[in-house]
Amino acid sequence: MDTLKQKFADKALSLYTEMRAISKESGDKVVAEVTLGQIMSGARGIKMMQWETSELDANVGIRFRGRSIPEIKQLLPSGPQGEPKPEGLFWLMLTGEVPTKEEVDQLTADWHGRSEVPQQCYTVLDSLPADTHPMTQFTIGIMAMQGDSIFDKRYAEGLSKSDYWDAVYEDSMNLIARLPRVAAYIYRRAFKDGKHIEPDTSLDYSANFAHMLGSDDKDFRSLMRLYLTIHADHEGGNASAHTVHLVASTLADPYRSLAAGMNALAGPLHGLANQEVIKWIFEMIDSLGTKTPSKEQIATYVQQTLDEGKVIPGYGHAVLREPDPRFTSQRRFAEQYIKDSDLIDTVWKIFDVVPPALQALGKVKNPWPNVDAHSGALLVHYGFPEFSFYTVLFGVSRGLGVLAAGIWSRALGMPLERPKSVTSDWIKAQAKK
């Protein structure tokens, strides 16, 4: 067994035993109340699942195994310019330990060794019109590889419950290894006339992904390391993670559960917001007729968007109540690496203008930017203006978190998820009580 798998197995076995005992001894303990308002507003704040890999604090933002984004930037082995490698985050999410540089290098090599994408995936993608939305292609690409599922095969042969995690680990590692190649293939066929670029396995996961997309710029490689790290996980309740968790709880294999989650990520209130943000900014620039709009011009455009009954993409969050540290880390990146970009200046002006405009509505719980408010402008700067592809980048990263969490779920023997729903009659009756 490789080092990562062995470390995980040791930790998971002892936590499994501990969790079983807690469930037996304290399973009846009441820990929260649920209001009618919560039931009627998308289950906000209801504690209803266990998720090992990260936890979201409304004010601090995401913590991966207890470590905030500024902390992981300090702690995790990094690329040459200091941005953390997502390989290290994956290791941390699975083991709770910060890996050494050697351990991260081993993981990079392991993923390279698993990264061959089966031909049928390319054949299926090639059968789609090239202008099929990249997220649709991504989901179909993942499903086209499902026949390779080790979990599926071993389950059919009579896999013991205690070995579920092992097969899910293998599928998850294979999927994570393959996702950048599938994503790059989709990008190059959709936007670069199908001129594909072979992987370079001398590079780390992120730099190789950047290379296959078509950039060997060292700053873009750093951006990819940061990007793939900060988008990976946002606790379990967000729509993509929760979907993966729910589908996997039926013992659908990782290919099926990840594909399901990617369809959730493709919604405009969730991961698709990263394309919506840049689309909205481009439309604003067109409508105002200037690439350097003033704050006053932006404020007028923001008001117009709100008056049309639309949301301002990239702002607001179901849990966060402060500027998203994932936004802030991208801003810091831009401050460090990018000089004189009208587009990035515009993103920062929007940051000054939108929160007071949303606060003035009196109903928006979080007027601050989320992760999607900044990423598009960075990608445009590095030569990737094709915004319909952006959510695929988010998806490659999100795969790391949700698949790591999925390995934990099977190792901890988590059962089929089945919350209770109620009808409007029940709600009316409760309201009268």
What residue ranges bind ligand FAM (CB under 6 A)? 238, 269-271, 273, 311-318, 358, 363-366, 370-372
Alpha helices in 289-316, H assignment, sequence order: 295-307
- Whether 260 and 247 have beta carbons less than 8 Å apart is answered as yes
The least CB distance from residue 281 to ligand FAM, in Å, is: 13
Phi, psi of 309, rounded to the nearest 5 degrees: 75, 25
The least CB distance from residue 271 to ligand FAM, in Å, is: 5
Question: Among residues 129 and 362, whose Cβ is nearest to ligand FAM?
Answer: 362
Q: What is the rounded CA–CA span in Å between residue 190 and residue 51? A: 36
Question: Among residues 128 and 311, whose Cβ is nearest to ligand FAM?
Answer: 311
The least CB distance from residue 305 to ligand FAM, in Å, is: 8
The least CB distance from residue 241 to ligand FAM, in Å, is: 10
**In sequence order, what are the residues at sequence separation of 6 or more whose Cβ sits closer than 8 angstroms to the Cβ of residue 157?**
none
H or E element in which residue 128 lies? none
Question: Among residues 145 and 239, whose Cβ is nearest to ligand FAM?
Answer: 239
- R_g of the chain computed on alpha carbons: 22
Q: What is the rounded CA–CA span in Å between residue 139 and residue 272? A: 14
Amino acid symbol at 360 = A
At 52, is the secondary structure helix, strand, or coil? coil
Which parts of 279-364 are beta strand (E)? Answer: none
Residues annotated as part of the active site: 270, 317, 372
Question: Among residues 207 and 358, whose Cβ is nearest to ligand FAM?
Answer: 358
The least CB distance from residue 315 to ligand FAM, in Å, is: 4
The owner of tokens 């988590």 is 414
Q: What is the rounded CA–CA span in Å between residue 330 and residue 284? A: 22
Cross-strand pairs, 62: 56
Question: Among residues 208 and 391, whose Cβ is nearest to ligand FAM?
Answer: 391
- Classify the C-alpha dihedral 372-374-379-384 as positive or negative: positive
Q: What is the rounded CA–CA span in Å between residue 122 and residue 144? A: 9
Question: Among residues 111 and 315, whose Cβ is nearest to ligand FAM?
Answer: 315
The least CB distance from residue 110 to ligand FAM, in Å, is: 29
The least CB distance from residue 273 to ligand FAM, in Å, is: 4
Q: What is the rounded CA–CA span in Å between residue 351 and residue 357? A: 11
215: number of CA atoms within 13 Å, CB side?
Answer: 18
Q: What is the rounded CA–CA span in Å between residue 94 and residue 405? A: 8
Alpha helices in 192-272, H assignment, sequence order: 205-213, 218-230, 239-249, 254-265
Residue closest to ligand FAM, measured at CB: 316
Q: What is the rounded CA–CA span in Å between residue 248 and residue 253? A: 6
The least CB distance from residue 313 to ligand FAM, in Å, is: 5
Question: Among residues 98 and 241, whose Cβ is nearest to ligand FAM?
Answer: 241
The 8-class DSSP code of residue 96 comes to S
Question: Among residues 76 and 230, whose Cβ is nearest to ligand FAM?
Answer: 230
The 8-class DSSP code of residue 309 comes to T
Q: What is the rounded CA–CA span in Å between residue 223 and residue 375? A: 10
314: number of CA atoms within 13 Å, CB side?
Answer: 27
